[in-house]
A and B are shown apart, each in its own frame.
Chain A
Amino acid sequence: MKPVTVRRLILVSLLIAWELVPRTGLLPELFLPSLSSTLAVLWKDGATYGHAVLVTLYEVALAMLIACGGGILAGATVGGLARVRKLLLPVFSSLYAVPIVILYPVFTAWFGVGSESKIAFAGIYAFFPVMLSTAAGIQTIDPQFLLAARSMGATLPQQIARVIIPASLPTVFAGLRLGGALAIIGVVVSEMLTAAAGIGYLVTLNRTILDSPRVFAAILLILLLSIAYYLASRAIEKRFVVWQSAGKPLQAVQQSAQSTV
């Protein structure tokens, strides 16, 4: 059986199990509400959930601005300038070991329970991996590219626009994909911890009142959101970065698995 088929079968059976296991009483509805009751909630309460999604997306977008905007620029600088790289890269690698979650209470104390603390936390959370990944990626650019361009008489602006920027695109796209994924994760976690709005907040709110279908409706939305982002960014990458070398798949996962939550 083709692997693709197996995966689809697994997915379908999971969905079926989600529906049947609670219905047949194998697991209480409290632990696992049936798929249909979960979907029913989304249908009934579309407005609430829709609004929550918008709040979350807003926070993710701003967090991405910090993480990708800042992270890519910082990464390009650190990766491109040998002196800066040698000085700072080991420092940042060490800092990576610290669970950033411990800073979250600091952000809530400083910024309150609203969107600002989520944006700050998710922004910082995603910043370091994006920076490290960009720094690594910049170094993979073949130094001969610039030599060849110079030999063809390219001026400095031409070197930047016609060689450096196109050569950096794969790295930039990878940074955007990583940053977005981590921003979503960071925002969701922080919304679950202390918040007043957003999908993460809905998870926690309904959990405390033991309304399982509502909890799982929120969980389902988060799942769909993160998977949708992943598929969309992969599709865009493939479309624009035709020449990316394949490389070993698991090492690529290793690079993308920078999230700690």
Chain B
Amino acid sequence: MSLWKLALLIALFNVMTFGNGPVMIPLLQTHLVEGSRVLTEDQLLYAFTIARVTPGQANFYVASVGYMLYGMPGAIATTLAIILPGYIMIPLLHGYEYLHGSRWIRGFTQGLTVTSVGLILAAVVEIARATLTQPIAWIVLPATLILTQLLKWNIFVTLAVVGCLGLLFRWLL
């Protein structure tokens, strides 16, 4: 896969998902991990983790994917690929009344959102099959869910705690 093709693919995925970071995961998984095998599941997961611990826009983890494949030029190209469609904002500011009133567009975006929930969960199953090969991983995953969702812990604290938990079990077993 050439740098150009990667940038075009990322640009396309980003536009299709309205720049929603998590929704891009199934697309990246199918095309870069399973399809052309330029990326491993581990690399994709690591890139996504970066998105969760950095400030700013949540779809910028594609820069990490770009860097893994092509170094700095890759990071810059993928970043530009997700930023430039933002300029559609300028014409939209003028044609807003028409678009806002359109129930078709609201239905379309609602359809995209709902579909992506199913797609993300399907990708989770795929990635889990490939990466959660060690039993300890099945302790860390639910622990993360409980800490972030039920106990509402901060993401950094959660990652530190489940990280230690994983290390502890690895040391014990």
**A complexed with B:** no
Binding site for B on A (CB under 8 A): none
